[in-house]
Amino acid sequence: MKLGAVLLLKKSGSYKDNDLDRGHILFKTLKKFTKGNLFEEFAIIVPDNEVGEIKESYFGWIDHFNIRVLGEGEIAPQLNNYRNMRGWRKQQILKLAIANHFTCDYYITFDADIICLKDISKDDLLPGGKAILQLEKCSLHPKWWKSSSRIIDARHIVIGMKDAISVTPAILSRHVVLLTQTEIEKSNNTSDWVDWLCNLHLPKHPKNWCLKRFLMLKWTEYSLYYLTLLKYDLFDKYHVLCSTEEVPQRLLVHDAHPFEKWAPSINFNQSCPGLFCVVGSKSFISPDSVWDKIQPFV
């Protein structure tokens, strides 16, 4: 099985933070804890006007990880028609759209504030050729699931659903992502899923003044993906649950919050089940402070 990776990156980040420096921390930890051939494809997707600068900044990582730095317009040119769309929404679309530019079987999604914690092999991420999937409570974000179920005609699936896919980092099947794109188009009688989702977020357009479309606004890339997975009964074909007796590893642990009380030695340890953690950009912890804290382990 071939594994790829995608990182969504912008110089200033969503919270006007220095995500370039945060991204370097991600790559330092990946270099420490992964072998060079873990990712057969690695895409960094950036605003079109930042491609050159980010290529220069990340030049030292490009050959090591087989990185392609790609502009958002290259991945989803429809976004050029929606300049005022929130960056968070664009990122969700791009995480799905990159499947059209990959050849790998699976790809893992990264943000700049993710940190790799331990030695990772392909067997850790794809045991038996299936991607590990981590669950979280649907009650944490109930609107995500209700909105997405309306978009792909899967409302019967969310009734009584208690747990579902967690957030970044996540490992997605490229086949299921492409199926998700098709499902959005089929369920909404459209030939362009990106354009349809973008149109949903035009508040001044009269067609968005109806309750039906308003109730679709809280979709996410992962909820659309996961519901498509269940709708076509494909979970067992492409995924295996992690954090179980058979697959004890976890994609993400949340021990780095609050940052001031975090003892990294607990997580940079083979006994810790977590493969990654996050020190979120919205915490406004500087990249230098993060690096100072984890450097002894990297």
pTM of the model: 0.95
Tokens (6 digits) for 77: 């040119």
Amino acid in position 108: I
Q: What is the DSSP letter of 16?
A: T
* E strand segments, 238-280: 239-241, 250-253, 274-278
Q: How far apart are CA 117 and CA 32, in angstroms?
A: 9
Name every residue whose Cβ is closer than 8 Å to that of residue 257 and which is 6 or more positions away in sequence: 279, 280, 283
Identify any residues that bridge with 116 across adjacent strands, giving them in sequence order. Answer: 276
Query: What pLDDT is recorded for position 156?
Result: 93
CA distance between the termini of the chain? 28
pLDDT the model gives residue 281: 62
Using alpha carbons only, how large is the chain's radius of gyration in Å? 19
- What's residue 35's pLDDT? 77
Q: What pLDDT does residue 283 have? A: 67
| Domain residue limits, the chain | 3-297
Contacts of 185-189 with C-beta under 8 Å, sequence gap 24+, read: 187/151, 187/152, 187/153, 188/151
Look up residue 27 and give its amino acid: F
Q: In this predicted model, what pLDDT tens digit does every residue of 76-116 receive, in sequence order?
A: 999 999 988 888 899 999 999 999 999 999 999 999 999 99
DSSP 195: H
Instruction: Check residue 31 and give its pLDDT.
Output: 95
CA nearest neighbour of 112 among 183, 50, 188: 50
Query: What does pLDDT average to over the chain?
Result: 93
pLDDT, one tens digit per residue, over 255-273 is: 888 888 899 999 998 889 9
- Asked whether the beta carbons of 67 and 44 are under 8 A apart, the reply is yes
CATH fold of 3-297, please? Spore Coat Polysaccharide Biosynthesis Protein SpsA; Chain A (3.90.550)
- Average pLDDT by consecutive 10-residue portion of the chain (298 residues)? 95 67 95 89 96 94 93 96 89 98 97 95 96 96 96 94 96 98 97 96 82 89 98 98 95 89 91 91 81 94
